[in-house]
Structure 1
Amino acid sequence: MVILSHFAGDPYYKHFGYYSVSVFFILSGFAITAALNEVYAFDLKRFWINRALRLLPLYYITLAATLGTVLALPGETARFSTHWAGPSLHDFWLNLLLLPMMSWEHQFRLVMPAWSVAVEILMYAYLSLGFARRKSYATWLFATAVVFHALTALGGDGWHTRYFDPHGATLGFSIGALIYFQRKQRLSKISPRAVPPLLMLWIANMICGGWILSDDYVRLGGFYLNSIIGAALVTALADWRPAATLRVVDAHMGELAYPVFLCHWLAGFAVALAAFSPEVRGTGFALAAILASLGIAVVMASLNARCIEPMRRNIRRGAGITVPRTRGGGAVTAAGA
């Protein structure tokens, strides 16, 4: 959805990426709250080392590859994306530090999804410093997020403020944390059988926005309905116990998701250079970019599995962690999510 929103070339597809990332924030809020409570027991040193190993090596590999490409082909890369035009040493250091990239004031971006990665790290800080400890704290974060979104909507702030302002992400992460506590207290449960209709409803809401329904709906009613459906989906999926074969497929897709997210602009540029032109956009180009991104992601995920994951497993063993098992015998990998 994210690659389609970036490369399809039609403004209609833009919100596909926005809606998908918003639901991912809910999923991440749930998974990280579960991990902090059940895997790390708020051992923040090991939690942060594992998060850094999960996020940063692949980020810096993508950053280095993109920097080499931009320096080697400055004209072509600038035509492909204005965010790769006219780099300076100051811009390079900002990209290297990563966290400044959560602000869109910095236009030069070697890794375009750096915004989302930086926001993730900020939300990890909120959750690990207290909001994931108790339901009441998560509720307070949710209430603050609702006030932020209400004030920006009623105050006439643009749609991008509610989406791109880092604190806009507190809505999704707090919803995810509340889902964890609600399930723990057995206060809410949605049958996994509801997953297919919920998924169809989520897709329908996304497709209808900007096509049957107005652009104003996309930015307001549709956006918040997207979060409601996303919360129901995460709640239902939390109790889903798929067959062994599907678990294996799911695990492989999960390992590819982050590398695909990081490398898709670089993969898209390679496709444009090889078969199209730097200015090209369109659904055909987007599909080709998806395939190229998957190919690069397989290599990145393989390197990650060989070099990084053993260190992460050792850190978990050092914490004396026993990974719980599902009824079907598979490991519950909340931290890996």
Structure 2
Amino acid sequence: MFGILRTLLAINVVLLHIFNVPTLGNYSVSFFFLLSGFLMTLIMHETYGYSFKGFNFFWLNRILRLYPTYLIILVVTIIAIIIFPQLIRHPDLFMPKGGIEWIANITMIYPNVVPHRIEPRLVPPSWALTNELFFYCLISFGISKTFKRTFIWLTLSVLYFIGTYYFYNIATYRYSAIFASSLPFAMGASLYWITKTRTLINVRLFTILLVYILFVLNALFGHRYGFFLKELAIYFNMLIAFVLVYLLYTFKINQRIKKIDSYLGYYSYPIYLSHYLIAIFYSGIIGYGLIEGSFKLKMTAIIPYSLVLLLFCFFIVHLIDKNIDAYKRKLKKQELKK
């Protein structure tokens, strides 16, 4: 039941970037990394395997999952910059000037240990995909192939975070830097081994909702305290995410709910990637609830903005994502016949 969760996390990022709701979106990005660590380790072990063929099939599926939607949003953004330059009110949104900038924007691989420092980024949230791709690569090469490797990875990740407090105490290096993603990814990978060695428990939906509410409350209020409690809230968030992923993995749902969950999950990625683009169009064309001098919106605009965002994502899901998924299923059947 990860589809609804992913879409909720994407919505949390929208609330941060467009409506200035603090911290919840930041915590949700770390949550995404932890979930990815779990799911990528799971599918490498139980779907693809660590053979050369499995490695290739894993990356073919990752490319099909990430790039078609991204490239469509990239092209629409470029068209917007050319035709409606007056609507562009984001500091990272301007046309790349050289080959390296174009390659970075097309591949989502930004050449910096802190990817969000790279400008321009035609799709601003895509910096997190640099982090994702880096750890997808490590997982596909076997960093979480065994429990021992995963434990060493987790230990090194913890040491990295401890080191940032002593040697370079800047929050960026515990959030958006590539190596900052190592801890949630490693925690997610570790969770895979817990599910393999422990008996899965029966979980009620009410319990899952309570844990998610705890995650939201921790995100919304944890940053208001002093430095020590604020930092503690970050790691408490990761533990809540860890527990919630475990609960969702063990939660049993019927086929009807599974289909709904899967369908809603389609919206997470286009929502995450396109929310800045839609905010820019919304602010220039509709403008209701606009905070003057920016593309950001007041909470009074949440309904009309959300309708525009969901309409755009609806077309992305039905014209791109569903067709790509059908193609991936066809490829899988062909592989099974070999």
Question: Matched residue of 1:82: which SS?
Answer: coil
Residues 1:312 and 2:320 aligned together: no
Q: CA deviation at 1:87?
A: 4.2
2:108 to 87, 90, 98: 98
Distance 1:265 1:216, change over 3 A: farther
Question: Matched residue of 2:266: which SS?
Answer: helix
Distance 1:315 1:153, change over 3 A: farther
Residues 1:111 and 2:123 aligned together: yes
Tell me the equivalent position of 1:81.
90
Q: Does the Cα contact within 8 Å between 1:205 and 1:222 map onto a contact in 2?
A: yes
1:195 to 205, 208, 211: 208
What are the superposed Cα offsets for residues 231-288 of structure 1, whole Å, 9 maximum, x if unpaired?
0111111111123332222111111111111111111111111221562532234554
Aligned AA for 1:209?
G
2:232 to 199, 211, 221: 221
Aligned AA for 2:90?
S
Distance 1:236 1:165, change over 3 A: same
Distance in 1 separating the partners of 2:270 and 2:184: 22
Q: Percent identity?
A: 24
Distance in 1 separating the partners of 2:39 and 2:125: 20
Q: CA deviation at 1:138?
A: 1.0
Structure 2, unaligned stretches of length 5 or more? 1-11
Q: Does the Cα contact within 8 Å between 2:24 and 2:216 map onto a contact in 1?
A: no
Over the aligned positions, Cα root-mean-square deviation in angstroms equals 2.1
Distance 1:286 1:115, change over 3 A: farther
Aligned AA for 1:50?
N
What are the superposed Cα offsets for residues 136-167 of structure 1, whole Å, 9 maximum, x if unpaired?
11111111110111111233421111101111
Tell me the equivalent position of 2:261.
250
Tell me the equivalent position of 1:48.
59
1:132 to 139, 144, 154: 144
Aligned AA for 1:116?
A
Q: Does the Cα contact within 8 Å between 1:183 and 1:189 map onto a contact in 2?
A: yes
Residues 1:264 and 2:272 aligned together: no
Distance in 2 separating the partners of 1:263 and 1:313: 26
Tell me the equivalent position of 2:5.
none
Q: CA deviation at 1:59?
A: 0.7
Residues 1:14 and 2:22 aligned together: yes
Instruction: Number of aligned residue pairs: give it.
Output: 313
Q: Does the Cα contact within 8 Å between 1:131 and 1:137 map onto a contact in 2?
A: yes
Aligned AA for 1:266?
L
Q: CA deviation at 1:215?
A: 6.4
Structure 1, unaligned stretches of length 5 or more? 322-337
Distance in 2 separating the partners of 1:49 and 1:245: 29
Q: CA deviation at 1:306?
A: 4.7
